[in-house]
A and B are shown apart, each in its own frame.
Chain A
Amino acid sequence: MAVRVRVPTPLRRFTAGVDEVSADGTSIKAVIEDLERRHPGMRERLLDEKGDIRRFVNIYLNGDDVRFLDAINSKVKDGDDISIVPAIAGGR
């Protein structure tokens, strides 16, 4: 199950500057685990110690905020688009 993941600027240091990567998995959780294997350091930025999505991280699955789906357990299928968006814009 390959999905496309759009990576925001503050996480591109883990992807060698690339803004879109692919990952495998049947759920958001599995995709994040796969991202961690391919780009170590990503998981800690996305998930807290309990394994929940950090409060200031928004993850969109085909444009929908996964918090309003099944959060970390939201199902993912081949070809889906996932975007990781920091909750803030930075700067003032």
Chain B
Amino acid sequence: MATTSQSFPRLPADADAGAPAGVRNRVAPLSEVVPVGRADSVLDLVGNTPLLEISRLTAGLIPAGVRILAKLEGFNPGGSVKDRPARKMLEAGIAEGKLKPGKVILDSTSGNTGIALAMLGATLGYPVELVMPSNVSRERKKIVEAYGAKIHYSDPMEGSDGAIIMCRKLLELDPARYFKPDQYNNEANSLAHFETTGPEIWRQTRGQVTHFVATIGTGGTVMGTGRFLKSKNRAVKVIAVEPDDPMHGLEGLKHMASSIVPGIYHERELDDKIQVGTEEAYEIVYALGQTEGILVGQSSGAAMIAALKVARSIREGTIVTVFSDFGDKYLSTNLWIGWQEWRRERLQQVIAKWKKK
């Protein structure tokens, strides 16, 4: 895991020197970030993901005093950031007595949360049923089924809100049968990030993070992580990323103005919100693959675009963003339609375009 001082060549010798007053002694030693070498359950493997500095793609595009670090959530055992809230919601459900033997875990999800719930349900011994629009990627359906979960398909024309509504109906039909984590309205979702993602970023940057940029699906990541970082340093800017239009191709993301707003999403806590276009996000996914050697999903492309925009608006700072998952689950999706155009020759044009902006 890339958490040695070599990852941060620009850090001063005294790692705490740049931390805000009053927190010097509370910055945990880096050794705590080293993940467990052995675990009893995949539950123990969630979190402690590495930060990758994005420096090759950004060379010449952002000021010298600014760096962008991406938290690679694809390293979670279920392959995405969603392992964190899924684990926390199930743990909270068990602790409150709502999830107990005989219950079935039910939720609506277009993918990553479903994968996390299916994986964790398998290890905890609970059956899992998921509602998802039938147009989610083929890989996701297969992965969920491989963990033994059952899928109910909702109308693709109705999007994720259609899945939410269908899930409510299933629950109404047999409320005693199900435990619904309800990621959109369960504060344990944000809490997972407050307790894990936030502290990890704080430690990994040694308190030097100045901006946190994250995409909105449920709002859990941006809310919980943002809250933690602000609790350590009120000056940290928390910026959410959403699609620029209700009609978009950024799987996993919500255009807030046209969606059912999640109960855990509180816009007033944000410092800013950046809108990203589908095409520019796709382009940067290709660019990340070819310059940084990292293949991510479309939501990470949106996060990267927003981080670039923030980076170009400041003179110095440490921007941390979240790459929610890796790209292998999306190889059959529209993301890769016509991508050959974006091989090296076109890549230079993408980068040149940013230079001109």
Task: Work out how many contacts link A and B, with CB atoms closer than 8 A.
Answer: 124
Residues of B within 8 A of A58 (CB): 135, 334
Which of these, B113, B164, B184, B249, contacts A88 with CB under 8 Å? B249
Residues of A within 8 A of B217 (CB): 91-92
Complex Cα distance A7/B156, Å? 11
Establish whether residues A92 and B248, one from each chain, have CB atoms under 8 Å apart when the complex forms: no
Complex Cα distance A14/B50, Å? 44
Q: B205 an interface residue at 8 Å Cβ cutoff?
A: no
Count chain B residues whose beta carbon lies closer than 8 angstroms to a beta carbon of A: 46
Given A89-B159, A91-B159, the answer on whether A48 and B249 have CB atoms closer than 8 Å is no
* Smallest CB gap from B250: residue in A: A88
Q: Which chain A residues (30-70) contact chain B, with CB distance < 8 Å?
A: 45, 48, 54-58, 67
Q: What's the least CB distance linking A90 to chain B, in Å?
A: 4
Q: Which chain B residues (233-259) contact chain A, with CB distance < 8 Å?
A: 245-255, 258-259
Interface residues on A, range: 20 to 34
Q: A75 an interface residue at 8 Å Cβ cutoff?
A: no
Complex Cα distance A48/B338, Å? 14
Establish whether residues B338 and A89, one from each chain, have CB atoms under 8 Å apart when the complex forms: no
Residues of B within 8 A of A11 (CB): 246-247
Given A89-B132, A89-B156, A91-B254, the answer on whether A56 and B248 have CB atoms closer than 8 Å is yes
Name which of B95-103, B104-112, B118-126 contacts chain A: B104-112
Q: A85 an interface residue at 8 Å Cβ cutoff?
A: yes
Return the CB mask of B107-143 against A: 1 if under 8 Å, else 0. Answer: 0111111000000000000000000110110000000
Establish whether residues B112 and A92, one from each chain, have CB atoms under 8 Å apart when the complex forms: yes
* Smallest CB gap from B248: residue in A: A56
Residues of B within 8 A of A4 (CB): none
Residues of A within 8 A of B111 (CB): 89, 92
Q: B208 an interface residue at 8 Å Cβ cutoff?
A: no
Establish whether residues B249 and A8, one from each chain, have CB atoms under 8 Å apart when the complex forms: no
Q: B278 an interface residue at 8 Å Cβ cutoff?
A: yes
Q: B82 an interface residue at 8 Å Cβ cutoff?
A: yes
Show 23 residue pairs from A and B whose CB-CB distance is below 8 angstroms, ordered by the A residue: A7-B157, A9-B159, A10-B245, A10-B248, A10-B258, A19-B157, A54-B278, A56-B249, A56-B282, A56-B334, A57-B247, A85-B157, A86-B247, A88-B298, A89-B110, A89-B160, A90-B110, A90-B248, A90-B255, A91-B160, A91-B184, A92-B218, A92-B252
